[in-house]
Amino acid sequence: MNANASQLLRQQLAGRDPQMATVGDFLRTIEEQGFGLLMIAFALPVLVPLPPGVGAIPGLILMLWGGQRLLGRHTPWLPQRIQHRELTPRMALLLETKAIPVLERMERMLPQSRALRTPREWESRLAAAVVILMGFLILLPTPFLNTIPALIIISIGLSYVNHHRILMWSSVIVGGLVFAALLLTVVLGGEMLLDEIRDEAPFPGVPAGQG
């Protein structure tokens, strides 16, 4: 599938009666690109610094979609109630006049070179694993630390939408570095905390600072 997601959406709107189209129809039409669109849609609100715990819902949903793609699904699963929801003329108009132009602007910001462009299946699954890790970071009750994981998910979403291998690998590398840095910080912080506990509360008969 070489067309951009914006082109596919315009084709879908032009070729069907909007009253007969459903959310599921759109997702089936754009296939893997649907993962990218949904990831972008749910990660965008997380760019705003959130109080602890507020990122739980988008974090869990992003992890769910990342897990689906990691397991090999090419069309994101949604509850049947949502998939069967009709796209009314008003919804179709909003898509055509508001959402698609924004998506087209995002697509124009990407490098236009076709070299090494289409990711392989294993690369797409690797990116999905990074989405799961970033979703987990969003899920954690760490105030004001959601922005970077959300940006990485949006970047991966754009790479899915536009089958952009270079952008996908850049996002995967940055996401891996971010997760590794946070993991290292947690491990080192835990060791320092344990050292302080040992120094402040030694075992009976053991001088402070030993043990």
Structural domain range at position 182: 5-200
Could you tell me which residues are beta bridge partners of residue 86?
A: 22
Residue 185 lies in a domain: yes
pLDDT classification of 68: cutoffs 50, 70, 90: very high
Residue by residue, what is the 3-state secondary structure of 127-140? HHHHHHHHHHHHHC
206 in a structural domain: no
Residue 85, domain member (yes or no): yes
Is 209 part of any domain?
Answer: no
Is the residue at 63 inside a domain?
yes
Domain count, the chain: 1
Question: In 3D, which of 157, 153, 169 has the Cα closest to residue 32?
Answer: 157
Tell me, what's the pLDDT at 140? 79
210: in domain: no
Q: Does a structural domain hold residue 207?
A: no
For the stretch 175-192, pLDDT in tens is 999 999 888 887 777 777
Using one digit for the tens of pLDDT, what is the confidence trace for 118-153?
Answer: 788 999 999 999 999 999 988 877 666 778 898 899
- Return the CA Rg of the chain: 22
In a domain, 74, yes or no: yes
